[in-house]
Amino acid sequence: MAVKDFYKRFHIMNANTPKSAQAPVAEEQVIDLKQPELYINRELSLLEFNRRVLAQAKDERVPLLERLRYLCISSTNMDEFFEVRVAGLIKQVELGSTQAGPDNMSPLDILKTAGERAQQLVAEQYRVLNDVLLPELAQENIRFIRRKDWSESQAKWVRQYYQEALQPLLTPIGLDPAHPFPRILNKSLNFVVSLSGKDAFGRNSGLAVVQAPRSLSRVIQLPPGATDSGPYDFVFLSSMMHAYVDGLFHGMKVQGCYQFRVTRNSELFVDEEEVDDLLRAVEGELLTRRYGDEVRLEVADNCPDEVADYLLAQFEMSRDGLYRVNGPVNLNRVQEVYDLVDRPDLKFPAFTPSLPKAFDPSKDLFESISKQDILTHLPFESFIPVIDFVRRAAEDSNVLAIKQTLYRTGPKSAIVDALVNAAQAGKEVTVVIELRARFDEEANVALANRLQRAGAHVVYGVVGYKTHAKMTMVVRREGRHLRHYVHLGTGNYHPRTARIYTDYGLFSRNKLLGEDVQMVFNQLTSLGKVAKLNKLLQSPFTLHKSMLEKIERETGRAKVGKKGRIIVKVNSLIDTKLIQALYKASAAGVEIDLIVRGMCRLRPGVAGVSENIRVRSIVGRFLEHTRVCYFYNDGNEEVFCSSADWMERNMFRRVEVCFPIESSKLRQRIIKELDYYLKDNSQAWELSSEGVYQRTAPAEDEAAFSAQNALLQEWAEQA
């Protein structure tokens, strides 16, 4: 029976309502909101998001090289899925955990189902590569030349390259009691070689392992002049290895050479309460990440069963963790081709982000902010004002202090350079760095050391909580007063992601907002109780409670016949209590639209429960990253932007800030842009009550509309 039919006769009540109060209403049966059928599993939802990313690689409306990039992104996403989500499930199973989430799936159930779907997804990735993208790329004279198709001149050049650039870096390891199976780095490219014959010492182990250097590209561009190749002819590094690996085993015969790659648990564990120096503890843990527990083994599809079983035995893995692939095991490294091929016609059209009109180049930046709150929407608008904000503060003799949170910044950051300059100039510079930003830990350790050397005050937040808030505060002397200028954002201070992630940022000199930001920084750097904030909502203290109260306010008004309206745009919607509050709001008649890019536990369209809730996901040129909440509030519309997703970790285990958009002009602008995302019929996927995403398409009498394209065009015209 379909979920929506199952709930037609049920009346919704609070799960915490006493049983004595749960009397039937009319002839309807009463249920609570803990029914597992009302929840979608988060891991399976994450895999479905990756399926939507992979769909971009198949979409012929997308430029060809961008489609290749989407394929590689889907591969990178799968790596992280195994390194984090699957690794966590395996650990739970090993510890004997049977605790189920709201969907009532145990860790073992999830592991089995996720494994089956992951196998299907990986198979589809390689089908798209081999049957779709490679042939279409070849038609555009972008070719990956197979060994059997090498011309004489190509083979000659490849052999020379192998001998000069690759072979000197290789260390073949024959496997016998004196040469145990080597430690294999996480996600590294390796080859297991099957041999016959005896070596110089009379040994005949039959197997050897060769590890490919991580420093070398996985796709090698052939030089046209030396090989009579086209300008964009490539050879896989693995093809070179297969062709000439026999040179590493003189006097022996290579029976087979098979690539493999192992994915490991990449979560860092640091007991913050047991260490004296968090930075040094994180540095120590980084050394172990490369050799965490094995969670997946990828092998070439032509690898014999006995060799695959041998590898599984070495890694103490079952066949559930084995993935056979028809192509390079490190598929994500093919993305290098995107940068090597200079074909603008096969990429998204270049664009120049516009500069907000409120930033008058002829006026001082601080003067512009003092006149009005200024909102930016990346990447349609430029990240330069954010850089200039910190850079100008570093140079301004009236600026006394700069405080900033940094979660991800990238290896080369103009903002960090400005902070260093400010510290060296004697300004009070305080930086809260999150050392445990996943997969950026090493970069953040280096960043912390650099800022400390420059004389900045560097702290790592609060023990037990990740600092995920995006805040910058500049304290400036203006006459006899000290003014607080702030920037609050939904995304990181990262110049590269500012070009590919959608994010909102707010500049303001509002006195009360500045006081709030100052108090949050004091929380992060000192000791003391939480002060009451004027405007900001903050995790882990007030954000979750405030969102529940605002949902309940819309619910109460809908119950008395007034209009109730909620729009939420986030990356993930997982928190059970927020979902239950949305269910109750829907049952009361509140119209709810959820724009959720990735994981979504909520099941929309269930009669009597969530029939007034619509869920859509936008997957397009840019990664949707804005977190926005809209509440109708009886006509007194409220809009909030936030660094937090609607997940338990963001609400209770992270320091996050959510800031109101109080300018009527800016508020209406965000509402209009939210409407664009709700109108999108080209890059949107709608979630059904069955938990299935369907891609939207324009109706027969309807024009195609893309929110991202509309915003690009709108801001280009203004620029």
Hey, which residues are catalytic here?
Answer: 468
Give the separation between CA 290 and CA 563, rounded to whole angstroms: 55
> Which run of H or E residues covers position 208?
strand 207-211
C-alpha separations of 596 from 64, 679, 692 in Å: 27, 15, 14
Q: In this structure, what token pair is assigned to residue 700?
A: 């027969």
CA-to-CA dists, residue 527 to 56, 521, 691, angstroms = 48, 11, 46
Q: Are residues 485 and 369 in contact, defined by beta-carbon separation less than 8 angstroms? A: yes
Query: Long-range contacts for 696-705 (Cβ within 8 Å, ≥24 apart)?
Result: 696/616, 705/676, 705/679, 705/680, 705/681
The CA-atom distances, in angstroms, between 637 and each of 581, 584, 633, 663, 668 are 19, 21, 5, 11, 9
Other beta carbons within 10 Å of 162:
20
Rounded distance, CA 642 to CA 506, Å?
11
Phi-psi region of 694 (alpha: psi -120 to 50; beta: other; left: phi over 0): beta
Find all residues with CB under 8 Å of 27, minimum gap 6, and list them.
9
DSSP structural state of residue 362: T
| Cα angle 481, 485, 490; round to 5 | 160
Token pair listed for 447: 């960043």
Q: Tell me the C-alpha distance between 120 and 97, whole Å.
A: 27
DSSP letters, 445-481, are HHHHHHHHHHT-EEE--BTTBEE---EEEEEEEETTE
Nearest 5°: CA angle at 399, between 398 and 402? 175
- How far does Cα 187 stand from its chain's mean position? 18
Q: Are 98 and 106 in contact (CB under 8 A)?
A: yes
Q: Where are the alpha helices (DSSP H) in 533-641?
A: 543-559, 576-588
Q: How many CB atoms lie within 10 A of CB 344?
A: 11
Region label for 141, one of left (φ > 0), alpha (ψ between -120 and 50) or beta (otherwise): left
Q: Is 657 helix (H, G, I), strand (E, B) or coil?
A: strand
How is residue 420 written in tokens?
A: 């260093």
CA dist., res. 687 & res. 671, Å (int) = 22
Query: Residue 100 in 3-state DSSP?
Result: coil
Amino acid at 449: N
Question: How far apart are the C-alpha atoms of 688 and 693, rounded to whole Å?
Answer: 6
